[in-house]
Amino acid sequence: MFQTDISISRGALPAMIIAICGGATWFAISKSETPPGIGDLYDMMRLTTAAAAVGGILASPLFGQSGPKGLALALVGAVIATVIGAAAAAGSIGGLPGVVIGPVFVLTSLATQPHVGGIWLLIMTAAHCAAEAERARP
């Protein structure tokens, strides 16, 4: 009945999913601990989503390759996107110290809070799988 042909550039799909991951990860972190000096939860979610999109755009070429090598590259890309997104978000609030503190805070939260790490891993895996499916399309 309806036929749609949505054409998205190959890097845009994982970048969009990574942006969602940034907002969801911040939401999960904020439910257990919110660093001092952070304002409104939803303003911060918008900021982290936008910052994660930047990280996702830069790291998206590492997503979607097949096999064990592709999975390893996606993991590296996920960490790179997370560090860039956390640095951009925290840097826009706290200046240069935020650029350093933001990634350390987020990576520590991923490692020490199972619900945060689980959400992050699940959404980053979805970004990789979506990119892999997109690469397989003719």
Cβ atoms of 122 and 65 closer than 8 Å: no
What is the residue-level pLDDT of the chain in tens, covering all 138 positions?
445 454 556 678 888 999 999 988 988 888 776 655 566 777 888 889 999 999 999 999 999 999 999 999 999 999 999 999 999 998 888 888 889 999 999 999 999 999 999 999 999 999 999 999 888 877
Both tokens of 111, joined, read 């490692």
The domain total for the chain is 1
Owner of token pair 């397989």: 136
Domain annotation covers residue 7? no
Q: What does the pLDDT read at residue 45? A: 82
Domain annotation covers residue 5? no
- Expressed as residue numbers, the domain containing 55 is 12-30+39-136
Domain annotation covers residue 128? yes
Domain annotation covers residue 100? yes
Secondary structure (DSSP) of the chain: ---------TTHHHHHHHHHHHHHHHHHHHHH---TT---HHHHHHHHHHHHHHHHHHHGGGSS--HHHHHHHHHHHHHHHHHHHHHHHHHHHHHHHHHHHHHHHHHHHHHH-HHHHHHHHHHHHHHHHHHHHHHH--
pTM: 0.84
Domain annotation covers residue 121? yes
Q: What does the pLDDT read at residue 35? A: 59
Q: What does the pLDDT read at residue 99? A: 92
